[in-house]
A and B are shown apart, each in its own frame.
Chain A
Amino acid sequence: MNSMKIALGPLLYYWSRQATLDFYAQIAASPADIVYLGETVCSRRHELRHDDWLDVAAMLKAAGKEAILSSQSLIESESDLKALRRIVAQSDFRVEANDMSAVRLLTVAGRRDWVAGPTLNIFNPPTLSLMAESGATRWMAPPEMSGAVLAELLASGAPAIETEIMAWGRLPLAHSARCFTARHFNLQKDTCEFRCLDMQDGLALRTREGEAFLTLNGVQTQSARVHNLLADLPSTRQAAQVLRVSPQGENTVRVLELFRDALGGSISPQDAFRRSADWMVEAPCNGFWHGRPGVEQYVTT
Chain B
Amino acid sequence: MTSNTKIELVCPAGSLPALKTAVDHGADCVYLGFKDATNARNFTGLNFDAKAMNEGVRYAHDRKRKVLLALNTYPQASNWSGWTAAVDRAADLGIDAIIVADPGLMAYAQKTHPQLRLHLSVQGSATSYEAINFYAERFDIQRAVLPRVLSLPQVEHVIANTQVEIEVFGFGGLCVMVEGRCALSAYATGESPNCNGACSPGKHVRWEQTPQGMETRLNGILIDRFDDGERAGYPTLCKGRFDVNGETYYAIEEPTSLNTLELLPELARAGVRAIKIEGRQRSPAYTGQVTRVWREALDRVMRDADSFTVQPAWIAELDKISEGRSHTLGAYYRPWK
Contact = CB atoms under 8 A, between A and B. Distances in A.
A81 interface: yes
B78 A149 contact: yes
Interface class of chain B by DSSP: mixed
A207 B134 CA distance: 40
B194 A123 contact: yes
A26 interface: no
List the 10 closest pairs (A to B, CB-CB), nearest first: A126-B104, A101-B130, A177-B149, A127-B104, A104-B134, A294-B187, A123-B74, A174-B177, A100-B131, A156-B77
B150 interface: yes
Contact of A124 (B104, B149, B238, B337): B104
Interface of B: 74-78, 80, 101-105, 107-108, 124-128, 130-131, 133-135, 137-138, 148-151, 154, 157, 176-178, 180-184, 186-190, 192, 194-195, 219, 221-225, 238, 241-245, 247-248, 251-253, 331, 334-337
A72 to B, nearest CB: 10
Contact of A77 (B102, B104, B154): B154
B177 A221 contact: yes
Nearest to A296: B190
A288 B186 CA distance: 8
Given A101-B130, A149-B76, A180 B251 contact: yes
A216 B243 CA distance: 12
Contacts, number: 212
A211 interface: yes
A142 B101 CA distance: 15
A206 B221 CA distance: 10
Nearest to A184: B244
Contact of A216 (B105, B107, B189, B244): B244
Contacts of A80: 128
A75 B74 contact: no
B217 to A, nearest CB: 9
A175 B242 CA distance: 18
11 contacts: A76-B154, A99-B128, A104-B130, A121-B102, A125-B77, A153-B77, A173-B182, A174-B184, A177-B148, A189-B337, A205-B242
A264 interface: no
Nearest to B182: A174
A203 B222 contact: no
A73, A142, A143, A179, most chain B CB atoms within 10 A: A142
Contacts of B180: 121
B204 to A, nearest CB: 9
A204 interface: yes
A104 B137 contact: yes
B131 A99 contact: yes
Given A142-B194, A156-B80, A206-B242, 4 more contacts: A174-B184, A184-B245, A189-B337, A293-B190
A121 B181 contact: yes
A interface bracket (residues with beta carbon within 8 Å of B): 35 or more
B77 A173 contact: no
B125, B181, B225, B247, most chain A CB atoms within 10 A: B181
Interface of A: 73-78, 80-81, 84, 99-101, 103-105, 107, 119, 121, 123-130, 142-144, 149, 152-153, 155-156, 171, 173-180, 183-184, 188-190, 203-211, 213-214, 216, 221, 223, 287-288, 291-295
B181 to A, nearest CB: 6
A83 B180 CA distance: 23
Contacts of A207: 221-223, 242-243
A188 B331 CA distance: 12
Given A75-B131, A174-B178, A152 B78 contact: yes
Contact of B186 (A81, A127, A144, A152): A144
A193 B129 CA distance: 30
A208 B213 CA distance: 12
B149 A76 contact: yes
A82 to B, nearest CB: 11
Contacts of B107: 126, 130
Contacts of A178: 176, 252-253, 331, 336-337
Contacts of A156: 77, 80
Contact of A127 (B102, B242, B331): B102
A203 B244 contact: yes
A170 to B, nearest CB: 11
Given A81-B128, A287-B190, A291-B190, A213 B221 contact: yes
Given A130-B107, A208-B224, A294-B183, A152 B77 contact: yes
